[in-house]
Structure 1
Amino acid sequence: MSGTACSNNACAVPGMRPNGYYHQESKRDKCSCFQMPLHYPRFKKSDYETMPAWKLECLLKEYGLPIVGDVDQNRKFAMGAFLWPSEKE
């Protein structure tokens, strides 16, 4: 479940009201902006430590997070972003 990023900052959406509420008039008026996936990743620290690079990149992309540096940096970033403090130890 992922979306695509908007090419501009405003993301003009037909039906968007000034107060920020969205009124969808038809299916073709949908915004193609990024939408947060419904579920928080349920991986353990050991899962991140053994996760293949391609899967790690897909996970970061799905949540709109940057993929910068090598696989070890991305692995540490994902663990920092998705693991609770008690799970990091």
Structure 2
Amino acid sequence: MPGLRPNGNSGSKSEQNYCFQMPLHYPRYKKKDYETMPEWKLDCLLKEYGLPVMGDLNDKRKFAMGAFLWPSQLE
């Protein structure tokens, strides 16, 4: 994300600080799962990994697919 330092912090106190956290299990969803996942579930998933929950539903879906799917799974 633009403006983030290597530790995940933006340096600005007015912005939320994010720091990637690796939970015990990596999500095993497929592209179709992300395309139909309700917004509340996407929010929970992104928060669980310490990732930003910003934008509309399409933005969140694209972000989650980019973060958790391998490039070969996006096709």
Q: TM-score, normalised by structure 1?
A: 0.60
The 5-angstrom pairing of residues 1-89 of structure 1 reads 35-89=21-75
Q: Which structure has the larger Rg over C-alpha atoms? A: 1
Consecutive aligned runs of 4 or more in structure 1 exceeding 2 Å deviation: none
Q: TM-score, normalised by structure 2?
A: 0.71
Aligned counterparts of 1:38 and 1:84: Cα–Cα separation in 2: 19
Per-residue Cα deviation, 1:19-48 (whole angstroms, up to 9, x for no partner)? xxxxxxxxxxxxxxx852011100000000
Q: Which runs of 5+ in 1 are unaligned?
A: 1-33
**Number of residue-to-residue matches in the alignment:** 56
RMSD after superposition: 1.3
Report % sequence identity. 79
Distance change >3 Å, CA 63–CA 35, structure 1 → 2: closer
